[in-house]
Amino acid sequence: MSSQTRKALVAVIGGSGVYNIDGLENARWQTVTSSFGEPSDELLFGELDGQPLVFLPRHGRGHRLSPTTINYRANIDALKRAGVTDIISVSAVGSLKEEYAPGHFVLIDQFIDRTFAREKTFFGTGCVAHVSMAHPVSTRLMDALEASCKQLGLPYARGGTYVTMEGPQFSTQAESFLYRSWGADVIGMTNMPEAKLAREAEIPYATVAMVTDYDCWHPDHDHVTVEAVVKVLTANADNARSLVKTVAPKIYDRPLVDAQGGDHALEFALITHPEARDPEMVAKLDAVAGRVLKG
């Protein structure tokens, strides 16, 4: 390892159907407390081919939490406290494009946030910050994911826009046609505010969107059965676990600073003057913003 790299601690956030990572050695579930409340579950620590990995089931084991009730702030804060340097999200989505059939993986590079009932920032009264979300995904992580998709022969597309809706209900047909008119590629319920919070916590983030079905814009949508969706969901989850195992070695050595990935996203983001900062708020931010607050 050169002086310009360091070892990564990669976290995988598993969405619908992905509640564990097979093959982890020395696996142990561990409670990591957060100053922002309860995370979705304990964190699963282990090693994959000798490399450390952390796993968090986004909905909790047994899928206890709806997209709206997930405590996204606690999840990201807990991962930061655990020493995580990079996050890979795997998420089930509906397709807004004919060419992205069920079973297709889309490596997302943009988001449209349509959620409205979630806490979307770690900051607030007493400590205000504004981070850039122009390029929300780490190119370095996306490169590794693309190489792994090719290696495994998975059907994939590099680049795409993920619309995050509030849920838990699915779209109306009018909404589905609207999102298609915007040029969006897939629709899901969970990657916002997750990606925003990862950026605020200065953790590079990438998303693998796993298509389970066509959204209701598609003429065949009404003929899709729950059984068919579950079958695709299961196959996607198996492919996602294979992808994680393949990509982990590719990102284990990482740059000291992943500038495009957001390692220093807070460098000039804090607006509140030091003398005006609320000590209680600052104390809550000790993990996600400790690097800049201590400096």
Q: Is 263 a catalytic residue?
A: no
User: Are the C-beta atoms of residues 25 and 48 closer than 8 Å to each other?
Assistant: yes
Q: Does 132 or 15 have the greater pLDDT score?
A: 132
Report the pLDDT averaged over residues 61-65.
94
Most confident of 13-17, 123-127, 211-215: 123-127
What integer pLDDT is reported at residue 2 of this predicted model? Answer: 43
Task: Work out the pLDDT band at 23, boundaries 50, 70, 90.
Answer: confident
What integer pLDDT is reported at residue 15 of this predicted model? Answer: 79
Asked if pLDDT for residue 140 goes beyond 60, the answer is: yes
Helical spans, DSSP H, in 23-138: 72-81
What integer pLDDT is reported at residue 224 of this predicted model? Answer: 64
Asked if pLDDT for residue 233 goes beyond 90, the answer is: no
Q: How is residue 132 written in tokens?
A: 């850039």
Residue 150 sits in a domain whose CATH number is 3.40.50.1580
Task: Work out the pLDDT band at 20, boundaries 50, 70, 90.
Answer: confident
Interaxial angle between packed helices 72-81 and 191-200, expressed in degrees from 0 to 180 and rounded to the nearest 10: 40
What integer pLDDT is reported at residue 220 of this predicted model? Answer: 81
User: Are the C-beta atoms of residues 127 and 241 closer than 8 Å to each other?
Assistant: no
Task: Work out the pLDDT band at 205, boundaries 50, 70, 90.
Answer: very high
What is the average pLDDT value for the chain, to the nearest integer?
Answer: 93
Report the pLDDT averaged over residues 150-177.
96
Asked if pLDDT for residue 84 goes beyond 50, the answer is: yes
What integer pLDDT is reported at residue 235 of this predicted model? Answer: 87
List residues forming the annotated binding site for phosphate.
16, 58-59, 91-92, 190
The residue assigned the tokens 């304990």 is: 42
Asked if pLDDT for residue 64 goes beyond 50, the answer is: yes
Report the pLDDT averaged over residues 63-68.
95
The CA distance from 41 to 30, in Å, is 9
Residue in 73, 82, 75, 31 with CA at minimum distance from that of residue 54: 82
Task: Work out the pLDDT band at 231, boundaries 50, 70, 90.
Answer: confident
Cβ neighbours of 221 (radius 10 Å): 15
Whole-angstrom distance between the N-terminal and C-terminal Cα of the chain?
A: 27
Asked if pLDDT for residue 47 goes beyond 60, the answer is: yes
Catalytic residue among 77, 86, 215, 258: 215
What total number of domains does the chain contain? 1
Q: How is residue 112 written in tokens?
A: 């449209």
46, β-bridge pairs: 53
Residue in 285, 249, 9 with CA at minimum distance from that of residue 123: 285
Q: How is residue 249 written in tokens?
A: 């070695």
What integer pLDDT is reported at residue 106 of this predicted model? Answer: 98
The CA distance from 52 to 252, in Å, is 9
Write the single-letter amino acid at 160: G
Coil vs helix vs strand at 217: coil
Q: In the chain, helix, strand, coil percent, each to 5?
A: 30, 25, 45
Interaxial angle between packed helices 226-247 and 139-152, expressed in degrees from 0 to 180 and rounded to the nearest 10: 110
Residue 27: burial class (beta carbons within 10 Å; 0-12, 13-18, 19+): middle
% of the chain beyond a pLDDT of 70? 98
What integer pLDDT is reported at residue 122 of this predicted model? Answer: 98
DSSP state, residue 200? H
Q: Is 215 a catalytic residue?
A: yes
User: Are the C-beta atoms of residues 166 and 175 closer than 8 Å to each other?
Assistant: no
Backbone angles phi, psi at 191, to 5 degrees: -80, -10
Least confident piece of the model among 68-82, 85-99, 185-199, 222-236: 222-236
Asked if pLDDT for residue 152 goes beyond 50, the answer is: yes
Asked if pLDDT for residue 132 goes beyond 80, the answer is: yes
% of the chain beyond a pLDDT of 90? 83
The residue assigned the tokens 């991962």 is: 79
Task: Work out the pLDDT band at 223, boundaries 50, 70, 90.
Answer: low
Residue in 92, 95, 96 with CA at minimum distance from that of residue 236: 92
The CA distance from 216 to 47, in Å, is 40
List residues forming the annotated binding site.
16, 58-59, 91-92, 189-190, 213-215
What integer pLDDT is reported at residue 1 of this predicted model? Answer: 41
Catalytic residue among 41, 86, 185, 213: 213
Task: Work out the pLDDT band at 199, boundaries 50, 70, 90.
Answer: very high
**pTM greater than the 0.85 cutoff:** yes
Report the pLDDT averaged over residues 238-252.
93
Domain carrying residue 215: 5-294
List residues forming the annotated binding site for substrate.
189, 213-215
Residue in 186, 176, 166, 55 with CA at minimum distance from that of residue 109: 186
Q: How is residue 225 written in tokens?
A: 């059965």
